[in-house]
Amino acid sequence: MSASPASPSRPVTRLAPGLLLAGGLGLLAHLLGAQVPVVGGPVFGILLGLLAGALLGSRPALTPGTAFAAKKVLQAAVVLLGLRLSLGEVARIGFETLPVMLGTLALALVAGPVIGRWLRVPGQIRTLVTVGTGICGASAIATISAVTGAGGVAVAVSIAVIFTYNALAVVLFPVLGHWLGLSQEGFGLWAGTAINDTSSVVAAATIYGAVAASAAVVVKLTRTLMIIPIAVGHSLARARREGAGEAGMPWRALIPPFLVLFLVATAINSAGLVPQGWSEPVGEVAAYLTTVALTAIGLGTPVAAVREAGWRPLALGGILWAVVAISALLLIRLTGHW
């Protein structure tokens, strides 16, 4: 009799240690990311998680909470991300810029698996580096890892690869843009297409000029919309591989509920039902939750396993980065946006 009142709290008690640690370190990482936006909260989160995990060693009491954060908190962040995406942005940009974004995305999605297999990069890392480079960096990696169930090592390595080339892009792109004679709008299109995380896009484009920064942000937001079909495609592919396409399987085995909620959130925002004043707070909460989830992934990832990944993922990321950047320039020239 006396044990029954305590039973509902047991799941919370089990989750609390790992969840509180991930939340606290995630908050620190989020604040650091605000101070150094070119690095960003997710990268700080992965690093702090890896460091704390190495110092603490194996702590079974933390596992339930960190596992919950790495999966459920990440899924919640993805749903909130949908409230900031709008299909109407595509119309506002104009379909004339879409060939550049869609062309580079298609090239990345084809080249990534081919080059990754040639370099013998493990499948999960290959997928995450490809979508991170082709779509929008950490946000795409977070979403696709939640859909595919990618492991912590794959996420940590992929985030590190994307960050490396984001940092290089902030330094190199403005210099190359001036050397090539790109207009403000042309550079904004190039930066929004060929640089991954939003913070790095804004940093590079702001260096180039105010008009370039405005154009780059809108292009980047539109590029982020490509998460939707890619995530659904990966979800259906995973279901097929695992035999979930057989008759009688529930719909949630084909498309995870959180992805449905993400699509609903995007539709709500596209319909103009989300007040404009909500965009910034929702973005902050989504960014924090993403950082908490990636911190939890870092906590559960052996540093040795990340080190063992070696140079191959970095090489894949570098080749794909060059492919996207160069093809974007060619398409910008061909479509007359130089």
**Which residue did the predictor score with more confidence, 37 or 15?**
15
- The verdict on residue 29 lying in a domain is yes
Residue-wise pLDDT for 95-114, tens only, equals 667 788 888 888 888 999 99
1 has pLDDT over 60: no
Whole-number pLDDT of residue 31: 92
Residue position matching structure tokens 């044990």: 3
Q: Does residue 2 lie in a domain region?
A: no
In a domain, 272, yes or no: yes
Q: Is the pLDDT of residue 246 over 60?
A: no
Domain span including residue 266: 15-334
Do residues 208 and 177 make contact, with C-beta atoms less than 8 angstroms apart?
Answer: yes
How many Å apart are CA 218 and CA 85, to the nearest integer? 11
- List the alpha helices (DSSP H) in the chain: 10-35, 41-56, 63-68, 74-82, 88-93, 98-119, 123-131, 138-148, 152-180, 184-194, 198-208, 210-224, 227-241, 251-254, 257-270, 279-299, 303-308, 312-334
pLDDT of residue 163: 78
Looking at residue 248, its pLDDT comes to: 47
**Average pLDDT over the chain, rounded to whole?**
79
Angle in degrees, 0-180, between the axes of helices 279-299 and 74-82, rounded to the nearest 10: 160
CB of 125 closer than 8 Å to CB of 154: yes
Could you tell me the pTM of the whole model? 0.69
* pLDDT on residue 94: 53
Give me the number of domains the chain comprises: 1
Lowest pLDDT segment from 33-42, 87-96, 200-209: 87-96
Distance CA 330, CA 194 (A): 12
Residue 73, CB half-sphere, CA atoms under 13 Å: how many?
26
311: in domain: yes
Q: Of 18-22, 113-117, 120-124, 259-263, give the lowest mean pLDDT range.
A: 259-263
Residue 53 lies in a domain: yes
137 occurs within a structural domain = yes
